[in-house]
Amino acid sequence: MDAWREHILPYLGPRRYLQLATVCRNWKAHWLAAANAPNAPPGHTECTTAAELMCGSLELWLWALSHDCPKYAKALEWAAGEGRTDMLELLMDSGVTCNKETCESAAAGGHLCALQWLRARGVPWSVETAHAAAARGDVSMLKWIKEAGGAWSKVTCACAADEGHLHALKWLDANGCPLTELTPTRAASGGHRHVIEWAVLERGIPLLPAACLNAARCGFPDLLKWLRLEMGAPWEASVCAALAGRGDLETLQWARANGAPWDGGVCNNAALNDRVAVLAWARANGAVWSEETVYTCVRHDSVACLRWCLENGCPVDWELCLRWAKGEGRPHVLMWARSNGTSWPRKQCVHVHMCVWPRPEVPPVVPVQTPPCRVQMRLHWAEGLVKHRL
């Protein structure tokens, strides 16, 4: 058991049910025991085998087909992402349809030879191929794409900026790829100050309010302060809303002290992520809220914020909340509110099918689905991250 957990499962990883659990009874027992362990890898509880993982070699794919693996349309993309031209040839010969995403996958995986192989066989491509190469900072691939007549756009530079690939950005700029305000904006989402400095100070690209928003939303408070204090970047109310959603009260307080505007999005975003401390501070300092704030709490199970809102007089549209709960079949938050003293408008208890929710002594009936005792082997297969629970 210890050897299984320490050596076999961590090496192979989850989503390989058919390769491991079906070898023998002991291996299946080990699989199930490992699945129930507190430190089980994510996804290990799934009794599935990912077809995507079978595209790493020709032998694995042939084995998968022999075990009833469906011929997923994305198989070409998976094989291209691994740079397996032998797999690509087999799939294309067997009639799997080629599309432009195949070339994009080869570029995203950094496989120039596979990309060249695909193009030599007439597989279509699009501007997304250049975007994928730029996101990797792969200048040699970008050079080949340009020489082969591939398309690029202003988003190509933005993709390089996303990952902080300044060398690729400089090459793209020198070779005529459009450089726009999108470049420093996207660089801010990754915290890449050096890219912003180059784009703004050396290339004269102006900063948009979205740069500050991305720095706030993606968790780069120091970059946000630098953008405002040293670069003079504009900002909007969305910055405070993003900080509230992240629960970054310290930076939110700094932003307000430095003149950042705010609106109802602050309370709504705090409610969205159940940030009670942020919501309380915002309200104490004049932030507005509305019926949407409670509605957001109900929709996203933010019980702590819901409690605080109800205790502090936030306006409520119970009809809207009940209508949503009815459609989603998730009345437990509203039942909690009722059981904790919230009074319901009389008109909401008119219809019988809604009365079971305001009454905490009548819990909703959830049908229990009994798993089938026997399933076909193909249900053990999953396309990529889409899994069939058994």
Q: Which of 39-48, 104-113, 273-282 has the lowest mean pLDDT?
A: 39-48
53 and 98: one domain?
A: yes
Q: Are residues 223 and 243 in the same domain?
A: no
Do 242 and 306 lie in one domain? The reply is yes
Q: Is residue 167 a contact partner of residue 199, using CB atoms and an 8 Å limit?
A: no
Run of H or E including 50: strand 49-50
Which of 216-230, 271-285, 315-329 has the weakest average pLDDT?
Answer: 315-329
Average pLDDT taken over every residue of the chain: 82
* Residue at 56 is within a domain: yes
Closest CA to 244 of 211, 280, 212, 210: 280
Residue range 42-82, pLDDT digits in tens: 555 566 777 777 777 788 878 887 877 777 778 889 899 99
CB atoms within 10 A of CB 270: 34
Given a cut of 60, is residue 386 above it in pLDDT?
no
Alpha-carbon dihedral of residues 352, 353, 355, 361, nearest 10 degrees? 120
pLDDT at 388 over 90: no
Task: Give the domain-ending residue among 124, 150, 166.
Answer: 124
* 381, containing H or E segment: strand 381-382
- Overall average pLDDT of the 276-283 stretch: 98
Same domain, 23 and 2: yes
Helix locations, 163-236, DSSP H? 166-174, 182-189, 193-197, 209-217, 221-229
**Range in 83-87, 94-98, 343-347 the model is least confident about:** 343-347
Phi first, then psi, for residue 46 (nearest 5°) are: -80, 130
Total number of domains in the chain: 3
Report the distance separating Cα 257 and Cα 107, nearest Å: 46
Token pair of 19 as six digits? 């390769």
| Confidence grade of residue 339 (pLDDT, cut at 50, 70, 90) | low
In this structure, what token pair is assigned to residue 147?
A: 């020489």
Q: Is the distance from CB of 261 to CB of 237 less than 8 angstroms? A: yes
pLDDT at 18: 67
Q: Report the CATH number at residue 169.
A: 1.25.40.20
DSSP annotation string for 57-109 = -HHHHHHHHHTT----TTHHHHHHHHT-HHHHHHHHHTTPPP-HHHHHHHHHT
pLDDT in tens, 158-188: 999 999 999 999 999 999 999 999 999 999 9
Return the higher-pLDDT residue of 222 and 373. Answer: 222
Q: Which of 103, 124, 145 is the last residue of a domain?
A: 124
What are φ and ψ of residue 244, in 5° steps?
-65, -40
* Lowest-confidence region among 149-163, 208-222, 267-281, 356-370: 356-370
Question: Do residues 133 and 161 lie in contact, with contact meaning Cβ atoms separated by under 8 Å?
Answer: no
Average pLDDT over residues 298-306: 89
Q: Could you tell me if 390 and 373 are in contact, meaning their C-beta atoms sit under 8 angstroms apart?
A: no
Whether 136 maps to a domain, the answer reads yes
Q: The domain containing residue 337 runs over which residues?
A: 237-341
From residue 148, give the alpha-carbon distance in Å to each of 59, 152, 192: 33, 12, 31
User: Which of 320, 341, 362 is the C-terminal boundary of a domain?
Assistant: 341
Tokens of 241: 């809303």
Given a cut of 50, is residue 366 above it in pLDDT? no
Confidence of residue 264 (pLDDT cuts 50, 70, 90): very high
270 vs 65, higher pLDDT: 270
User: Comparing 161 with 368, which gets the higher pLDDT?
Assistant: 161
How many Å apart are CA 171 and CA 288, to the nearest integer? 47
Least confident range of 63-77, 183-197, 302-316? 63-77
CATH number, domain of 94, equals 1.25.40
Q: Are residues 77 and 188 in the same domain?
A: no
Kindly indicate the confidence band of residue 342, based on its pLDDT and cuts at 50, 70 and 90.
Answer: low
Confidence band for 126, pLDDT divided at 50, 70 and 90:
very high
What's the average model confidence in pLDDT over 185-211? Answer: 98
